Structure 1
Amino acid sequence: MFTPPSVLIVEDSYVLLEMLATLCEQEGIRVVEASSGEAALTLLRGRGADIDWLFTDIRLPGLIDGWSVAQAYRAIHPDRPVIYASTGATVERRTVPGSLFVRKPYQVHEIIGLARMMARALSPAPRRAAG
């Protein structure tokens, strides 16, 4: 039985969080939401093994930023890329190979493309007919 992929979206703007969640859900991705780094770390502690993707804003309110959330995620999934988002012009290179960077403000077509990529990456391969 196929389980749809899941993504933890960490975004402090409620409007952006809901937009990202809606676009991912429309592509068949289960969404877990967090509006702060602290909330994201709590979710990762309890459900981290079940989360296939991380989409995190780098600048978050509080003491825990997106880099720290990504580090905690990579402790669970060391080879899985992370999708980072920021308004900043320069981004530190703390990413793992294959990670992506999305600049805010988001372009809807960009997010739809990322959601489709996440859904395809973990979908079971189609079975070929024997013949």
Structure 2
Amino acid sequence: MRDGKPVVLVVEDSTLIRMSAVDLVQSAGYEALEACDADEAIRILESRGDIDLVFTDVQMPGTMDGIKLSHYIRDRWPPVKLIVASGAAILAESSLPGGSRFFAKPYDGTAITDAMARLLAEEV
């Protein structure tokens, strides 16, 4: 969060789920950005220096899935917080970068926004 509210990038290939996640992010008081796959997410991260948290799905089309994307983000933009969700896979948090949170779909919106608040409150 630079000035004002935290910025959350939602990465989800399903339009309806992405719209729902964006609504969730905005209702929690955060600015929401959208990407339909990892490639678009990386382009957005490269063009903006104000993204505080990435909320990504695991399974998506493109050059990398959400797990690879989360590791890429952790390596390239270490301060960015990460939340990973999946309807098809249950992941051990050990397969994700340190400090990430995992949620199985369908997820509880309150659990997601609580996790966002906790992650965004942590010092880098």
Contact 2:7–2:31 under 8 Å retained in 1: yes
Give the Cα–Cα distance (whole angstroms) in 2 for the partners of residues 19 and 29 of structure 1: 14
Q: Residues 30-57 of structure 1, C-alpha deviation per residue, up to 9 Å, x if partnerless?
A: 011001111111111111x311011111
Identity of aligned residues (%): 34
- Say if 2:111 is the partner of 1:113: yes
> Which has the larger displacement, 18-27 or 90-99?
90-99
> Which has the larger displacement, 112-121 or 26-35?
112-121
Relative to the length of structure 1, the TM-score reads: 0.76
Relative to the length of structure 2, the TM-score reads: 0.80
**RCO higher in 1 or 2 (8 Å CA, sep ≥ 6)?**
1
- Say if 2:61 is the partner of 1:61: yes
Q: Residues 92-131 of structure 1, C-alpha deviation per residue, up to 9 Å, x if partnerless?
A: 533233321111123xxx22332244246546xxxxxxxx
Give the Cα–Cα distance (whole angstroms) in 1 for the partners of residues 56 and 20 of structure 2: 14
Give the Cα–Cα distance (whole angstroms) in 1 for the partners of residues 119 and 87 of structure 2: 27
Report the CA distance shift for 1:29/1:62 in structure 2 as closer, same or farther (over 3 A): same
Q: What does residue 73 of structure 2 align with?
A: 73
Calculate the aligned-residue CA RMSD, in Å: 2.3
Return structure 1 stretches of 4+ with deviation > 3 angstroms.
119-123
Matched to 1:30, the amino acid is E
Give the Cα–Cα distance (whole angstroms) in 2 for the partners of residues 81 and 117 of structure 1: 10
Structure 1: tracts of 5 or more residues without a match: 124-131
CA drift of 1:78 comes to 2.0
Give the Cα–Cα distance (whole angstroms) in 2 for the partners of residues 100 and 91 of structure 1: 10
Q: How does 1:84-103 map to 2 (within 5 A)?
A: 84-91=84-91, 93-103=94-104
Structure 2: tracts of 5 or more residues without a match: none
Contact 1:4–1:119 under 8 Å retained in 2: no
